[in-house]
Amino acid sequence: MPDPVIAIDCVNHYFGIGSLRKQILFEVCADIYSGEVVIMTGPSGSGKTTLLTLIGALRSTQEGSMRVLGQELRAAPHHLLVQVRRNIGYIFQAHNLLNSLTARQNVQMSLELHPQVSARQARQQSAMMLEAVGLGNWVDYYPHELSGGQKQRVAIARALVSQPKIVLADEPTAALDKKTGRDVVEIMQSLAKQQGSTILLVTHDNRILDVADRVINMEDGRLSSLTTALV
Ligand SMILES: Nc1ncnc2c1ncn2[C@@H]1O[C@H](COP(=O)(O)OP(=O)(O)OP(=O)(O)O)[C@@H](O)[C@H]1O
């Protein structure tokens, strides 16, 4: 068995201090391997987003071990966290596109963290990625000129253009209708399979569970045993 790209061991997490301190995650353990599409489900407030932000090196791991791409994140210095983040594509429910930039410029932004990619290559790769998500005719449009589904596709293109080893997606279909939501997830799945990326996707949307290789469930801060593949 190869090493997991994400190895979570006995992670606890707390919010608040003093008498307000509250435990949110309880002894969470999971191993996620290269190329896997894993969906995390669970009730609102159960701790899914918290876990995703810990994996994404966006929040400090307090207790336990969180190894991402071979790097221990707990107590890691800032520059190592930044290095890990460069290998992760993030897709959040609020797509966070910059309104003053076109679709292509929004996508291109994530390549600016990669100095080995020239500006010309970045422009070309961004346009190609938008083409891949079905927005070839929309590269020069601004976010306010695009529909919710189109904006979400721009966010996917932005997350995938740098060929990240890991894609973390939090409710990527929440604002979308059934068909668009499914399209968006299938695009993510096929692009990630082509690039060999690992996808961890949080969703309440039962209709997309079949794209997963595995489904894991969070309840009251505890990750329940992994179910076998649904496909
Ligand atoms: N910054 C914070 N400070 C204090 N409590 C927080 C903070 N962020 C989240 N929480 C609490 O932690 C718990 C887990 O929140 P989290 O967002 O991880 O859940 P979730 O499973 O992603 O929920 P949802 O499906 O509604 O997004 C909730 O009780 C929430 O109120």
CA distance 154 to 150: 6
Paired tokens of 159? 């997350």
pLDDT band at 9 (very low <50, low <70, confident <90, very high): very high
The residue ranges of every structural domain in the chain are 1-87+165-231, 91-163
With residue 66 as reference, give the H or E element that holds it.
strand 63-68
Q: Is 46 in the pocket of ligand 1 (CB under 6 A)?
A: yes
CA distance 159 to 162: 7
Nearest-5° angle of CA 91, CA 188, CA 49? Answer: 35
CA dist 45 → 51, 121, 163, 204 (Å): 11, 42, 31, 12
Q: Which atom of ligand 1 is nearest to the CA of 15?
A: 4
- Higher pLDDT, residue 192 or 104: 104
Q: What is the CATH number of domain 1-87+165-231?
A: 3.40.50.300
What is the per-residue pLDDT for 42?
Answer: 93
Q: Is 15 in the pocket of ligand 1 (CB under 6 A)?
A: yes
With a cut of 70, say whether residue 95 has pLDDT above it. Answer: no
With a cut of 70, say whether residue 85 has pLDDT above it. Answer: yes
Output the CA 59–ligand 1 centroid distance in Å: 13
| Ligand 1: residue whose CA is nearest its atom 7 | 15
DSSP 104: H
pLDDT band at 225 (very low <50, low <70, confident <90, very high): low
Output the CA 49–ligand 1 centroid distance in Å: 7
What is the per-residue pLDDT for 94?
Answer: 67
pLDDT digits (tens, 9 = 90+) for 151-199: 988 998 999 898 899 999 998 887 777 887 888 888 888 877 888 899 9
